[in-house]
Structure 1
Amino acid sequence: MDIRLDDLNGAEIKRLLQEHLDDMYDASPAKSVHALDLSALKQADIRLWTVWQNDQLLGCGALKTHNSEEGEIKSMRTTNAARNKGVASTLLQYILGDAKQQGLTKISLETGTQDFFAPARALYKKHGFAECGPFADYQPDPYSVFMSKTLS
């Protein structure tokens, strides 16, 4: 697997991110969808990586930096063909490593409470994330689970 910092200009990543947004709106009420669209992901405080096997896109994930100590995982997604093959774990470890290199000490995320999001919650728990309260600009939401991890 090859992990690359992505400029978000390729057709493959645009399709994957649109699929991600579509699924988020199908799974959650619109007011509870916190997934970012393509233009929001191009902000200076966000870096997005893609995972490739040869010329096949397998997944993506982003890190949003909130301040000098805290960041947030955004837009974690694997393609249907890449599910349950370790792509998300590999990418998450990569992003956490990058966060440590930046000097971040805490990484948080928001995901859903519905069954659709159970694999995501399991992935994050497997990598040491624990449930927490809302962070940054998030508000309590019955459709959201907030998780964080302290980086050592």
Structure 2
Amino acid sequence: MDIKIDDLSRDEVKALLEEHLQGMALNSPPESIHALTIEELKKTEITFWSAWEGGALIGCGALKELDAHHGEIKSMRTSSLYLRRGVAGRMLEHIIEEARHRNYKRLSLETGSMEAFEPAKKLYLKNGFQYCRPFSNYIEEPNSVFMTLEL
């Protein structure tokens, strides 16, 4: 698996992010969707990576700098053709490594509370994340759960 910084210009990447947004729309009410658009992912405080295998896009993920010591995981997605093959786990490892390289003290995320998000929550828990209170500009609401990892 080759994970590299991506400029979000490839059609495959755009399609995967559209799939991600559609998945959020299917499983979350509109006011509870915190997924970022392509334009939002291009902001300077966000680093976006794509994961490739044999020329095929297999996943993506992003890291948003909240401040000098705190990062947020955004846009983690595995292509539907590559589910349960370790793509998300490897992308998560990559993001955690980068957060440590940046000397962040904490890495956090928001995900859905619904059944569709159980695999993601299990992955994060397996990698040391714990449930926490809302962070940054998030507010407590029934459709979101918040998790954090002390680095």
Settle same-fold status: TM greater than 0.5: yes
Deviation at 1:96, TM superposition (A): 0.5
Corresponding residue for residue 14 of structure 1: 14
Equivalent position amino acid for 1:59 in 2: G
Aligned equivalent of 1:90: 90
Runs of 4+ in 1 over 2 A off after TM superposition: none
Query: TM-score under structure 2 normalisation?
Result: 0.99
Q: Secondary structure at the match of 1:12?
A: helix
3-state SS of the aligned residue for 2:89?
Answer: helix
The secondary structure found in structure 2 opposite 1:96 is helix
Residue 147 of structure 2 corresponds to: 147
- 1:114 maps to 114
For the residues of structure 2 that align with 1:50 and 1:82, how far apart are their CA atoms?
Answer: 14
| Whole-Å separation in 2 of the counterparts to 1:54 and 1:7 | 19
User: Structure 2 regions of 5+ residues with no counterpart?
Assistant: none
Q: State the distance in 2 between where 1:56 and 1:84 align.
A: 16
Between the two proteins, the alignment pairs up a number of residues equal to: 151
CA RMSD of superposed structures (Å)? 0.5
Cα deviation for residue 58 of structure 1 reads 0.4
Where does residue 81 of structure 1 map in the other structure?
A: 81
2:125 aligned partner, one-letter code: K
Q: CA deviation at 1:25?
A: 1.0
Quote how far apart the aligned CAs of 1:19 are: 0.6
* Distance apart, 1:92 and its partner CA: 0.4
Report the Cα offset of residue 26 of structure 1: 1.1
Return the letter of the residue paired with 1:101.
Answer: H
SS in 2 for 1:22: helix
> Does 1:63 pair with 2:63?
yes
SS at match of 1:77: strand
Alpha-carbon distance, 1:54 to partner: 1.5
| % identical aligned pairs | 46
